[in-house]
Amino acid sequence: MKFFRHLLVLFCCTMLIGKAWPQVNAEKLTIDADDLPWQQVAEILQKQTSSRLYYKLEDFDTIRFSIHKSNVSLKTILDELFQNTDLQYTTYQDNSIFITRNQAIRASLPIGFFSSGIVEKSEDDEIPEFMLNMAASSTEGNLESRLLTIGRGNGNGTNGEAKISGYIKDVATGEPMIGALIYKENPRVGVATNQLGFYTLTLPKGRHELFIQSVGMRDTKRQVLLLSDGKLDIELREDIIPLREIIIESERDENINSLNMGVEKLDIRTLKQIPTAFGETDVLKVALTLPGVQSVGESTTGLNVRGGSTDQNLILYNEATIYNPSHLFGFFSAFNPDVLKSVEIYKSGIPANYGGRLSSVLEIATKDGNKKKFSGSGGIGSLTTRLAFEAPIIKEKLSVTLSGRTTYSDWLLRYVPDDAIKNSQASFYDLTAHINYNINEQNSIDLTGYYSDDRFKLNSDTSYNYQNRALAFKWKHMLNDKFFSVLTSSYSGYKYDIYSSQNPVNAFDLKYNIDQLNTKLDFNYFPNETHDVDFGISSIYYKVLPGSFLPRGFESLVIPIDNEEEQGLESGIYVGDRIMVGSKLSVYLGLRYSMFNALGPREIYSYADGFPKEESTIIDTTYYGSGPYHTYHGPEYRASLRYLLGENASLKFSYNKMRQYIHMLSNTTSISPTDTWKLSDPNIKPQIGNQYSIGLYKNFRSSAVETSVEAYYKDSRNTLDYKGGANLIANEIIETDVVPTEGMAYGVEFLIKKMKGKINGWVSYTYSRSFLRTASDHPSETINNGEYYPSNFDKPHDFTLVGNYKFSRRFNIGLNATYSTGRPVTLPLTKFDLREAERLHYSNRNQYRIPDYFRIDLSINIEGNHKVKKIAHGSWTFAVYNLTGRRNAYSVYFVAEDGFINGYQLSIFGSPIPTVTYNFSF
């Protein structure tokens, strides 16, 4: 082997020097050999030719050669020598001759390995070991083209299969790439990395070209020669905006091949390109640009996913549930963009490991933290300031990330020339701390802490304060190459506190609090390439203080209402399997069985059968002691199917059944700080929903352009709507103010996406409808006579364009255009005089619409100079939100003024809003 190493080094050097070789065909050689071992024969030949002979001595172990030739070409000699042996040779560029046993070298060598040209073709797909362990080169191109040997050759030759396993990481930070794809083509075999960034891929022994993709990272590939089980770690580079994009021509892409449908994954770089109202990257606002994701209006972060209500989204921040994802009435989302890594939203095809919400799962992941060097980032914007640090505590092993964000809106308010505003306050901050510890290759631990706080006070009267708290612990453990487990324990809390003390007699203190403790254990078992099994259990314990309304101060006469706390236990067990059925068909079958135990102690009212639930129809009060007193349970079926249609297209189906045991009580159209969450109990049944979807996916131009059409139909029941004039605050008998409704939603989403090249972005159009219908027979519990009525977020037409143009590495322009049908509203139909004033009689619920919505935003990003080794990078973002200054109606309303009715439309942003943000990282 030593000899070969020398040879190879030489070979490489010569390659690198790029020295021209003389024409060898003209060379005439003479040889006289009698029963000589190959080594001597080779020496004789090598002396007479400028060509290099490459071989493995072992291959010639027992063979001895006899040959007598003069003035003939090398080819003639070799042909004769190897006649009747299993030795073969391949010449390359007329100056290198590879001699191998059993098979000729595959001549079509990896791109870039040699300058160009192929001498001889071979049907074989194998290459011998000697080409391995090439001198390392730092460029990606070389990594991609260099052939890597996996394992060791042995007598078994190339029969059978072997496993490649390893970690895929970010080269800059050492962060494991979760869900990165590694696959080969023809036939396609691939896997995704697990939570540790680890993968195992079983392939036939021999030579393979492996493609590696991960969101936000530059696609890459590796040439491997698989001899036996072995390791291959891969480091990916961030997809920094190159001037000339190198498109890795992977034949088919994630969107075509994966079983996922209705899933969008956006990385922080994509998020950053999209202009927002206050110049700050906002996960939830970007989610709103995706097809099928809508909101009721401008200043809300409440997402309506495919016609579902805002409480039907499971928002996970590093696995911890976040109940109120907004700051400052919804102008900002509660997540600091500096520490975000990616956001993934499941609109359909939700796998069995998720449960608890009907419509979607929004998984927000933070960066693991830089394990190589201390780094940081931050930004100064027109309303907020933020800062984040990432520090390796133990190099390559343990890193800590800290971030904070706050606003100076309080300070700004003081300068508003209006007394009411001057006396108002509004502020928020949020903090994230994250520790990531890669104990060893089998174990990794994450600990995330999150805290957000909002407070505002209006005209020195009522003070509002709300907080999200979350703590998540995650232990990823690899049992073996095929078996992986993740243990997650998290705590989430949300509370608000509203008080007023202006009038001592009515001074009150209104509080709400929800805490949840969540533990789950997930396993991933990967027996072979045809199966990928997930299974696990989870349990969530909820404790809700549904609202206490207490006197504040000695003089207050407010009757203390201290609603009994609610407790519940939501448990789930699931199993799911991704099965490759042949080369075209792949299916996912999953089953989740969920159960909810309402836990005592608690008092529950019973209502007369056949009567509407009203205070007057309470017939009994039952007191339950500690422990479960009411149980709901049921299966949740999950299934997906993918069928490949040729190289660049696929057809997918999915079916989901979901159950939701916790309900948001909100009587307003947008998310408001006084929204509360209520657990299911004997009077409030769990929400149950089904979704059927079908999608067609096709990629063009080597997957540079992805297109898809997805259609869905959803139904749901036991979702809550409210009686007119419902009181939801600290209401002890909430069931008398809500009405269970049945929902129906359907839609078609068209998406064209181009994420590569100078111009990138996506265009989507969605046609969707969303309806509700009250299920009760009692007039007092029906809305619109029990007919279907459009939900608050039924916006049939929705068009979005998100575009980005890179002028140069340092300069890019983002454009965002949105059009949607105005949301439904209830309008007055007629006016009448009552007690000498005009009054209004309203239409049935949501029978009319506010004017259509249209907005264009523009942003310009200017990066500082692009030296990779600079100490700190700065960038400026200049953005204009609502460029056309269109006064989009947020709502319309009618008001009696001096006894007359006047109609108004309220716009939140009535003119262009320019912002400047400075971002930096070091």
Partner 1 sequence: MKHHIYILILCLGALLGCRDPFEPPAIRDFDELIVIDANVNGTTGQSSVVLSISKALNSEDATAYISGADVYLQSAGGAVYDLPYQGNGTYGANNVYLDYGDKIKLHVVTSENGRYESEYEEFIETPEIDSVTFDADSEGVQFYVSTHNTDNSSLYYKWEYFETWVFRSAFDSNYIYDTYPNGNLILSSIRKRNALQIDSMRFCFRDNISTKILLGTSENLSENIISENELFYSSHAQGRFKYRYSVLVKQNALTKRAFDYWSILGSNTEDVGSIFDKQPSNFESNIVNANNADEAVLGYFSVFSETEKRIFIDPSEIPEHETSETLGDLCNPEVLRKWEPDIGYSPLSAEINGRYIVIEFADEASVSSAKCCDCRLTGYKEVPDFWEE
**Least gap, CB of 874 to partner 1 (angstroms):** 25
Which residues, 799 to 818, sit near partner 1 by CB under 8 A?
Answer: none
Among 228, 485, 776, 826, binds partner 1 (CB under 8 A): 826
d(CA 723, CA 681): 19
Rounded to whole angstroms, how far apart are CA atoms 908 and 298? 7
Question: What is the nearest approach in angstroms of partner 1 to the Cβ of residue 559?
Answer: 5
By C-alpha distance, which of 429, 261, 209, 247 is closest to 336? 429
Length of the chain: 922
Q: Which of 150, 293, 362, 889 touches partner 1 by CB under 8 A?
A: 889
Q: Which is nearer to partner 1, 34 or 898 (CB)?
A: 898
Question: Which of these segments, 104-112, 208-216, 310-318, 888-896, binds partner 1 (CB under 8 A)?
Answer: 888-896
Nearer to partner 1 by Cβ, of 205 and 773: the residue is 773
380 binds partner 1 (CB under 8 A): no
Residue pair 801/816 in contact (Cβ under 8 Å)? The answer is yes
Q: How far is the CB of 691 from partner 1 (least distance, A)?
A: 26
Tell the smallest beta-carbon distance from residue 775 to partner 1 (Å). Answer: 18
Specify the pairing of strand 147-150 against strand 220-226: parallel
What is the spatial distance between Cα 649 and Cα 696, in angstroms, rounded to a whole number?
Answer: 7
44 binds partner 1 (CB under 8 A): no
Q: Which is nearer to partner 1, 627 or 914 (CB)?
A: 914
Give min distance, CB of 797 to partner 1, in A: 17
Q: What single-letter DSSP state applies at residue 109? A: P
Q: Which residue's CB is nearer to partner 1, number 801 or number 913?
A: 913
As a whole number of angstroms, the distance between CA 78 and CA 33 comes to 13
| Residue 676 burial by Cβ neighbours in a 10 Å radius (0-12, 13-18, 19+) | buried
Is there binding between residue 618 and partner 1 (CB under 8 A)?
no
Single residue of 89, 92, 183, 331 touching partner 1 by CB under 8 A: 331
Q: Within 10 A of 133 (CB to CB), how many other CB atoms are there? A: 16
The answer to whether 460 and 499 are in contact (CB under 8 A) is: no
State in angstroms the smallest separation of the CB of 729 from partner 1.
10
Residue ranges in 663-722 that form contacts with partner 1 under rule CB under 8 A: 667-670, 672, 674, 722
Q: 830, 865, 867, 869: which one contacts partner 1 (CB under 8 A)?
A: 830
Alpha carbon distance 654, 660 (integer Å)? 19
What b/e readout covers 341-369, taking b as 16+ CB neighbours within 10 angstroms?
Answer: bbbbbbbbbbbbbbbbbbbbbbbbbbbbb
Q: Are 605 and 621 in contact (CB under 8 A)?
A: yes
Provide, rounded to whole angstroms, the least separation between the CB of residue 141 and partner 1. Answer: 48
Binding status of residue 832 toward partner 1 by CB under 8 A: yes
**Binding test (CB under 8 A) with partner 1, winner from 58, 609, 620, 836:** 836
Q: What is each CA distance from 167 to 91, 207, 232, in whole angstroms?
A: 36, 20, 7
| Chain residues 309-328 in contact with partner 1, contact rule CB under 8 A | 328
In degrees, rounded to 5, the angle at the alpha carbon of residue 295 between the alpha carbons of residues 849 and 696 is: 100
Among 57, 505, 581, 645, binds partner 1 (CB under 8 A): 505
What residues form DSSP beta bridges with 231?
165
17: left (phi > 0), else alpha (psi -120 to 50), else beta?
alpha
Q: With respect to partner 1, which residue has the nearer C-beta, 218 or 386?
A: 386
94 Cβ contact list (under 8 Å, min separation 6):
21, 23, 24, 25, 51, 119
Query: Rounded to the nearest whole angstrom, what is the least distance from the CB of residue 789 to partner 1 in the complex?
Result: 11
276-295 binders of partner 1 (CB under 8 A): 277
- Find the binding residues for partner 1 in span 332-361 (CB under 8 A): none
What string marks each residue from 125 to 154 as x (binds partner 1 by CB under 8 A) or -? ------------------------------
| Stretch 567-606 residues interacting with partner 1 (CB under 8 A) | none
CB of 827 to partner 1, least distance (A): 5
Phi and psi dihedrals of 726, rounded to 5? -60, 140
Neighbour tally for 423: CB within 10 Å: 14
Smallest gap from residue 737 Cβ to partner 1 (A): 12
For position 776 contacting partner 1 by CB under 8 A, the verdict is no
Smallest gap from residue 565 Cβ to partner 1 (A): 20
| Cα 830 to Cα 838: distance, rounded to the nearest angstrom | 10
891 counts as binding partner 1 under rule CB under 8 A = yes
Residue 527 or 903: the one with the smaller Cβ distance to partner 1 is 903
41-47, Cβ contacts within 8 angstroms, sequence gap of 24 or more: 41/65, 41/67, 41/81, 45/74, 45/77
Nearer to partner 1, 631 or 902 (CB): 902
Three-state DSSP state, 850: coil
Q: What H or E segment, with its residue span, contains residue 814?
A: strand 811-820
Min dist CB 581 to partner 1, Å, is: 49
Q: Which is nearer to partner 1, 73 or 668 (CB)?
A: 668
Q: Of the candidates 718, 608, 604, which has an alpha carbon nearest to the alpha carbon of residue 658?
A: 718
- Shortest approach of partner 1 to residue 302 CB, angstroms? 12
Looking up tokens 């970690």 gives 167
CB 291 within 8 A of CB 751: yes
Least Cα distance to 70 among 118, 27, 116, 110 occurs for: 27
Question: Is residue 269 within a helix (H) or strand (E), and if so which, with residue range?
Answer: helix 268-272
CB of 848 vs partner 1, minimal distance in Å = 7
Residue 811 or 893 with smaller CB distance to partner 1: 893
Nearer to partner 1, 49 or 882 (CB): 882
Contact 895, 902 (CB under 8 A): yes
Q: Which stretch binds partner 1 (CB under 8 A): 69-77, 518-526, 582-590, 829-837?
A: 829-837
Q: How far is residue 845 CA from its own chain's centroid? A: 36
| Cβ at position 819, least distance to partner 1 in Å | 19
Closest approach of partner 1 to the CB of residue 854, in Å: 15
Site for partner 1 in 398-457 (CB under 8 A): 409, 412-413, 416, 418, 420-421, 424, 426, 456
- Which residue in 619, 650, 611 sits closest to 781, CA to CA? 611
Report in angstroms the alpha-carbon separations of 41 from 36, 59, 81. 7, 14, 10
Q: Binding string, 233-272, against partner 1, x = CB under 8 A?
A: ----------------------------------------
Which one of 39-47, 84-92, 676-684, 910-918 is the stretch in contact with partner 1 (CB under 8 A)? 910-918
Distance in Å, CB of 271 to partner 1, minimum = 22
Q: How far is the CB of 298 from partner 1 (least distance, A)?
A: 9
CA angle 210, 142, 256 (to 5 degrees): 30
What gap in Å lies between CA 837 and CA 83, rounded to an integer?
A: 111
The residue (of 543 and 831) whose beta carbon lies closer to partner 1 is 831
Compute φ and ψ for 410, nearest 5 degrees: -55, -45
Per-residue tokens: 186: 């023809």
Answer for which of 905, 918, 920, 922 binds partner 1 (CB under 8 A) is: 905
The yes or no reply on residue 906 touching partner 1 (CB under 8 A) is yes
- Which CB atom, from 413 or from 533, has the smaller least distance to partner 1? 413
How many residues touch partner 1 under the rule CB under 8 A: the total is 83
Tally of CB atoms within 10 A around 729: 17
Q: Which is nearer to partner 1, 807 or 893 (CB)?
A: 893
- Side chain identity at 444, as an amino acid letter? S
- Within positions 542 to 571, which residues make up the interface with partner 1, using CB under 8 A? 549, 557-559, 561
Q: Assess contact for 686 and 661: CB atoms under 8 A.
A: yes
Of 54 and 549, the one with the shorter C-beta distance to partner 1 is 549
